[in-house]
């Protein structure tokens, strides 16, 4: 049994607290909101974000950051990506050398273009940092629906140790050394999911969705491999697997926000309607900046940014994607 603290009591943090508690670990769930903590203690359920998933009495609930970091072997970072740096900065003085921090959020920091694990390592250099990603909606993980994910760390021993912590009869975990690829896949698929949702909102069909998914993973893998990640990663759980579920699922907040954009909502209106952090909006600008920095063509990402930040009509963006110059699908293949 391990002692584990989970920082962030949103839907994903709450679902993971249930999973890890069911695995027999000593789990504490932290939130910075006293009102949220009181609700979780009293109802043992996050009625707003994860209704129907009950927290056992053994799961501790706290707002005291110091107390939930001093003893645990593992800290799971489940706060939304825009708040990773601020939370990590607040944690720094309490984290012991070698303490393991598993980041389960997905995103890229807009100004620095750093991945979330890079932010954590920058703020808490004494930590051992890992990432967990894959097609894993909290609504299903919390209910014990069979799910597979991938975990990555710098050292194989750390990844394999954490694999054993999370693994259960309903939560299968693979390992990989490609932390950069795992994080890029998890962050960039949210941007493609905004496009897929927008196509749904416009009333387009399965053909359009399939096109966005396949050409989307082509964009992600082009950028990722240019940055030093492994192409195999993007055709695995944290790449195409996560992209499929985020583009297609009714649970996907990124797809829902895109759907509303397709219906004519502005970006701000869509985000208010979703009522949760839409991480693809925060990652879109970073993705565009990375494509320019590494000179990688990413037309879907580019059009998503124009819709989000320049007021371009969604239907016009789709038309411009369709009418681009003729291309070869796989330039590396010989005739």
Question: What would be the CATH architecture of the domain defined by 3-177?
Answer: 3-Layer(aba) Sandwich (3.40)
d(CA 189, CA 186): 6
Q: Which of 17-26, 121-130, 131-140, 263-272 has the lowest mean pLDDT?
A: 263-272
Per domain, the residue ranges of the chain are 3-177, 180-322
pLDDT at residue 78 greater than cutoff 80:
yes
Radius of gyration of the chain (CA): 20
Residue 132's φ and ψ, nearest 5 degrees, are -120, 130
- Report whether 100 contacts 127 (CB < 8 A): yes
Decide if 113 contacts 289 (C-beta within 8 A). Answer: yes
Q: Is 312 a catalytic residue?
A: no
- Measuring CA to CA, which residue among 175, 187, 184, 176 is closest to residue 226? 184
Q: How many CB atoms lie within 10 A of CB 253?
A: 23
Report yes or no: 91 and 57 within 8 Å, Cβ to Cβ: no
Which residue out of 49, 100, 106, 189 is catalytically annotated? 189
Average pLDDT over residues 139-144: 96
Phi-psi domain of 58 (left: phi exceeds 0; alpha: psi -120 through 50; beta: other): alpha
Tokens of 171: 């939560």
CATH for the stretch 180-322: 1.10.1040.10
Give the pLDDT confidence of 185-243 residue by residue, as tens digits: 999 999 999 999 999 999 999 999 999 999 999 999 999 999 999 999 999 999 999 99
Report the distance separating Cα 198 and Cα 135, nearest Å: 20
133 pLDDT more than 80? yes
Provide the percentage of residues in the chain whose pLDDT is more than 70: 100
């Amino acid at each position: 049994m391990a002692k584990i603290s989970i920082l962030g009591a949103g839907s994903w943090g709450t679902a993971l607290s249930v999973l890890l508690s069911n695995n027999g670990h000593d789990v504490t769930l932290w939130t910075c909101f006293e009102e949220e903590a009181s609700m979780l203690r009293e109802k043992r359920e996050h009625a707003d974000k994860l209704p129907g998933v009950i927290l056992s009495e053994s799961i501790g609930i706290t707002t005291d950051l110091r107390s939930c970091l001093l003893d645990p072997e593992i800290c799971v970072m489940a706060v939304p990506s825009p708040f990773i740096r601020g939370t990590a900065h607040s944690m720094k003085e309490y984290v012991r050398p070698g303490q393991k921090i598993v980041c389960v959020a997905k995103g890229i920091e807009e100004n620095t273009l750093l991945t979330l694990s890079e932010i954590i390592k920058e703020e808490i250099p004494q930590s051992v940092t890992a990432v967990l990603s894959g097609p894993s909606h909290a609504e299903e993980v919390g209910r014990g629906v069979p799910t597979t994910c991938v975990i990555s760390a710098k050292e194989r021993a750390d990844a394999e140790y954490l694999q054993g912590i999370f693994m259960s009869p309903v939560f299968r975990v693979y390992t990989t050394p490609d932390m950069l690829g795992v994080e890029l896949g998890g962050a960039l698929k949210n941007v493609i999911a905004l496009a897929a949702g927008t196509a749904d909102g416009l009333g387009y069909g399965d053909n359009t969705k399939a096109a966005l998914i396949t050409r989307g993973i082509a964009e992600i893998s082009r950028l990722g491999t240019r940055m030093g990640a492994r192409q195999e990663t993007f055709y695995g759980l944290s790449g195409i697997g996560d992209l499929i579920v985020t583009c297609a699922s009714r649970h996907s907040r990124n797809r829902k926000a895109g759907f509303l954009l397709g219906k004519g909502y502005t970006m701000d209106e869509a985000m208010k309607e979703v009522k949760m952090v839409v991480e693809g909006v925060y990652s879109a600008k970073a993705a565009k900046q990375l494509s320019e920095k590494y000179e990688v063509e990413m037309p879907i990402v580019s059009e998503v940014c124009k819709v989000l930040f320049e007021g371009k009509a969604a239907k016009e963006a789709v038309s411009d994607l369709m009418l681009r110059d003729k291309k070869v699908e796989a330039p590396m293949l010989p005739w």
